[in-house]
Each structure stands twice: as C-alpha cells, then as structure tokens.
C-alpha cells in the first residue's frame, strides 16, 4: 500500500515535469528544478523526486549532467494531447468518450455515444445513392474536387442555409471532409498558439481536445437553458480578451438546450464590442423541430463562421462538412485546406447531394424526429426510475443531460459500466471547470436495450 502510494507520487512528479515541458515553461535545454526545491514545492520527499527524475532520464525526457543537475533534453518531446493542459483523471479525459465509443465492440451498448445506431441511419438511401453513382456517366469518381468543393452541393447548401435565414452565396461556402475538420481549419486560421478561446461549460468534449492541439488557452462560460450566462460571458471577455468563442446554436451538445433570440442578440453585441470571432457548430440542425435562431443569420457572417455536416443524420462513413464564412476569410481558408489536406471528398459530396435531393431524406428526417421524441420519453421514464433527473427536457436532438442521484460521481459509475461492456458519458468529460461530476449525457437513440439500465443500476449501487 505504501509502495503503491509512493508510485503515484512519483508519477505525479513526472507528470508535473512533463506538463512544464509541454507547456514550454521548461524549454529544451533548460535546467530542471533542483531535487530539493521541487520536493518542497510538490510536498513530497526528495527520494520521490530522485526516482521521478531517474525515470524521466530513462525515457530521454531529461538528461543528467555530471555535478550540475538535470536538464530538459535537447528536443521537446512530440506533442501528446494527454500531456497538454491540466492532467485530468483518465475517466474524464476529453478523448475518453470518443475513443471508447469508436473502439467499442459491435455488441457493446453505448448510451454515452454521440451518434445514432446503425439501424437508425438511412441505409437504403445510401445504397440507392451508391448505385446511382456507379451508373452515372458523368459522376466524378476519381478526380480531385475544385478547391471550394462540388459547386452543385454548395449551391444546394446555400439554399438550405437561406431557409435558416443565413445568407451565404455558394462562393462563401467551402466543403470540408467533416464538421470536425471544418472547425479545425477555422481554428488554424484564427488562432495563434497561446490565444484564448471561450467554450460553453458543459460543451462537446472534443472542443477541449482540439483546442489543446492548437495550444489555445481555453476558458469556460456556464451554459444555461437559453444559451451562455451573459454576465459571466462578459466578465470573461473583459478579463481574458479571447480571440474566439465556439458554441452550438441548434440543440446543444450535451444539454439539448437551444439558444434564445434575446441571448443570441446580446451575446453577439458583446462579441462585437470585444472583437471576438465565433464558430457556430450547427451539426445537429436537421434534428430540430422549432428552429433556434442562427448566429450567422443575426450577424450576416461578419464575425460568425457557420459550420455544418451530415455525419449525424446521413452517413459518418462518407463524411462531408462545410464552412460558411465571410468572403475574405474563405479565400485564405481554401489555401489552408489545400496546404493541409489538398482537395478531396468529391465522392462523399456527390453522395451527400444525391441523398439530400432524394425526397426520401425529408421523410426520413421527419420520422427520425418522431422516433427520437418517443425514445426520449422512454429513456426519461427509465432513467427517472433509477433516480436520475433531467437538467432540462430538450425539445429536439438525441441527448439528455441527466443529474445523478445526489452524492453519486459519474466517473466511477462510467468506469464500472465500461467493465461490463456499456459505454457511458460522464459529465466532467464535457466540463472545463470539472463541475459536472454529478451529470451524465445519454443518447436516447442508444438507450433502447434494457440491459444498459441493469448495468447502470449495478454500477451506481457499487
């Protein structure tokens, strides 16, 4: 037991040194803190620091120089996302839910996963579109796409955006290989390492992971049932001069809340006053019943960049995302896309266009929304029976943000459930301030199998 505790402390010291190197507080070639000083600073024994430094030396992270102490190795270690930013408990790492969901065995139950089950997706429409492409004499099956992406699909997206009040001519729309790649490109375009970015707390966990990769300083603003808490949001703007705010306008991930028009208006005024750019990630648009206001519609694509994709409702195997932004930005984003991924995704674009223009797609969406509403009611009933309470009852989308019974911590419950083959999404994965340990996100479409509730109940009882 003593030895195990000792091991943990050694690892804490190792992690602290790695973090300083990753955060560039210790540059390559710099002298590491002395053993005596670091032992005092960390509140551990000198022998613990000696052991940690020895192991870091064996790993090549630091080097001992005879008689003069330890130095950071000549080269910074390669970028490991897990080492950047505050070290989080393994179960609430921003990548934990993604990787568990993506790696899950076919028979795993995944109430925590962020997408629809295979048999909820429009399989027949995709097969029909594939057959159509195989037949079409003029389909582009082998060539690169033009830099902005398929003109026909951009034309269609422009019309669809207009239905949401977003005026984006096809020349201001650039196709990408996914919504995630779209956000990543905009971050590459707008952010310098060290820039500050606001996210909602809670928000989609992958925003945290991606912003770490950009070496951004991430701060959170509490999310309310109508949008960001404007008082705190303004404070953050004044204190931190952020460059960028990333948010959802349709059903928010993970809470399902939708932005109100009044909050949208006031938030945009604050953003304008403080010179903040905004990414509006709108990938759940097709699940909405009462459309929320679009920031890009209010703002006229001035400081708002609008992101969409069809991975959630059409196919995540042939992905296609897009960016709508002001004209001058699109031109530079095209250069950046060509430099970092060249032009591609034409087949997915053709497939997407074929399905979007298939009259069956609107019918599929209508029945999907109804199916989600039924599944939401059923999941709410069964989770309430286990003592969960909804933070809000969403009008649309696939998520429920549920408070656990008082005193229960979502992380160990998720870990225990995982051991029984059930992937859950513990609240702190979504929360920058780590203040959501009493919450879990459930995907109502993935909650049909009663075994998930049995496993959840056992994991909560332990």
At 308 the three-state DSSP class reads strand
Measured between alpha carbons, how far is 111 from 388 in angstroms, rounded to an integer? 14
Short-list 197, 193, 308, CA closest to 248: 308
Instruction: Tell how far CA 174 is from the center of its chain.
Output: 21
Q: Which is nearer to a second copy, 142 or 359 (CB)?
A: 142
Nearest distance in Å: CB 403, a second copy: 28
Nearest distance in Å: CB 264, a second copy: 23
CB 233 within 8 A of CB 253: no
Q: Which is nearer to a second copy, 174 or 259 (CB)?
A: 174
Nearest distance in Å: CB 129, a second copy: 8
Q: Which is nearer to a second copy, 6 or 195 (CB)?
A: 195
Instruction: Tell how strand 69-72 and strand 62-65 pair up.
Output: antiparallel
DSSP 266-278: HHHHHHHHTT-EE
Q: Which helix (H) or strand (E) holds 69?
A: strand 69-72
The conformation of residue 31, written as its DSSP 8-state character, comes to B
Q: Which is nearer to a second copy, 409 or 449 (CB)?
A: 449
Short-list 213, 293, 287, 199, CA closest to 247: 199
Short-list 356, 342, 426, CA closest to 112: 426
When computed from its CA atoms, the radius of gyration of the chain, rounded to whole angstroms, is 24
Q: Which is nearer to a second copy, 40 or 338 (CB)?
A: 338
Nearest distance in Å: CB 26, a second copy: 13
Q: Count CA atoms within 13 Å of residue 262 on its CB side.
A: 4
Q: Which is nearer to a second copy, 67 or 193 (CB)?
A: 193
Nearest distance in Å: CB 319, a second copy: 5
Nearest distance in Å: CB 338, a second copy: 5
Measured between alpha carbons, how far is 178 from 73 in angstroms, rounded to an integer? 38
Short-list 258, 254, 259, 280, CA closest to 436: 254
Nearest distance in Å: CB 139, a second copy: 9
Q: Which is nearer to a second copy, 34 or 367 (CB)?
A: 367
Nearest distance in Å: CB 116, a second copy: 8
Nearest distance in Å: CB 110, a second copy: 11
Q: Cα separations (Å) of 168 from 162, 163, 176, 300?
A: 7, 11, 16, 8
Q: Which is nearer to a second copy, 146 or 450 (CB)?
A: 146
With 0-12 / 13-18 / 19 or more C-beta atoms within 10 angstroms meaning exposed / middle / buried, residue 68 is exposed
Q: Count CA atoms within 13 Å of residue 260 on its CB side.
A: 11
C-alpha triplet 291, 334, 196: angle, nearest 5°: 65
Q: Which is nearer to a second copy, 102 or 385 (CB)?
A: 102
Q: Which is nearer to a second copy, 76 or 226 (CB)?
A: 76
* CA dihedral sign, ordered 321, 373, 415, 220: positive
Q: Which is nearer to a second copy, 6 or 449 (CB)?
A: 449
Nearest distance in Å: CB 19, a second copy: 15
Nearest distance in Å: CB 297, a second copy: 23
Runs of H (alpha helix) within 2-85:
2-22, 35-42, 46-58
């Amino acid at each position: 037991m003593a030895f195990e505790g000792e091991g943990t402390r050694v690892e804490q010291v190792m992690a602290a040194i790695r973090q300083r190197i990753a955060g560039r507080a210790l540059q390559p070639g710099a002298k590491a803190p002395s053993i005596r000083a670091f032992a005092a600073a960390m509140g551990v024994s000198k022998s613990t620091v000696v052991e940690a430094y020895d192991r870091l030396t064996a790993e090549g992270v630091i080097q001992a120089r005879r008689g003069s102490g330890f130095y950071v190795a000549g080269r910074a270690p390669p970028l490991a996302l897990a080492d950047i930013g505050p070290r989080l408990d393994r179960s609430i790492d921003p990548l934990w839910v993604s990787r568990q969901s993506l790696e899950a065995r076919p028979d795993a139950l995944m109430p925590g996963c962020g997408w629809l089950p295979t048999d909820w997706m429009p399989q027949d429409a995709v097969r029909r579109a594939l057959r159509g492409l195989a037949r079409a004499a003029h389909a582009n099956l082998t060539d690169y796409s033009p830099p902005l992406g398929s003109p026909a699909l951009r034309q269609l997206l422009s019309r669809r955006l207009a239905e949401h009040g977003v005026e984006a001519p096809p020349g201001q729309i650039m196709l990408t290989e996914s919504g995630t790649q779209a956000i990543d490109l905009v971050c590459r375009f707008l952010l310098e390492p060290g820039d500050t970015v606001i996210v909602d707390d809670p928000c989609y966990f992958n925003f945290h992971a991606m912003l770490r990769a950009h070496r951004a300083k991430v701060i959170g603003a509490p999310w309310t049932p109508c949008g960001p808490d404007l008082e705190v949001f303004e404070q953050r703007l004044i204190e931190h001069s952020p460059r960028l705010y990333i948010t959802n306008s349709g059903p928010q991930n993970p809470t399902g809340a939708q932005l109100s028009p009044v909050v949208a208006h006031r938030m945009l005024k604050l953003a304008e006053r403080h010179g903040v750019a905004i990414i509006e990630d709108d990938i759940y648009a097709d699940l909405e019943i009462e459309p929320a206001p679009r920031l890009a519609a209010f703002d006229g694509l001035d400081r708002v960049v609008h992101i969409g994709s069809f991975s959630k409702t059409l196919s995540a195997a042939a992905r296609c995302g897009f960016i709508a932004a002001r004209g001058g930005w699109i031109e530079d984003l095209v250069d950046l896309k060509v430099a970092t991924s060249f032009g591609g995704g034409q087949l997915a674009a053709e497939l997407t266009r074929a399905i979007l223009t298939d009259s069956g797609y609107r019918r599929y969406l209508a029945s999907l929304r109804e199916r989600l509403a039924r599944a939401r009611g059923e999941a709410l009933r069964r989770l309430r029976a286990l003592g969960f309470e909804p933070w809000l009852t969403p009008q649309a989308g696939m998520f429920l943000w549920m408070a656990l019974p008082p005193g229960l911590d979502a992380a160990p419950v998720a870990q225990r459930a995982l051991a029984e083959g059930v992937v859950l999404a513990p609240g702190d994965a979504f929360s920058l301030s780590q203040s959501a340990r009493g919450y879990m996100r459930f995907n109502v479409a993935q909650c049909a199998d009663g075994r998930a509730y049995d496993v959840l109940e056992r994991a909560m009882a332990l």
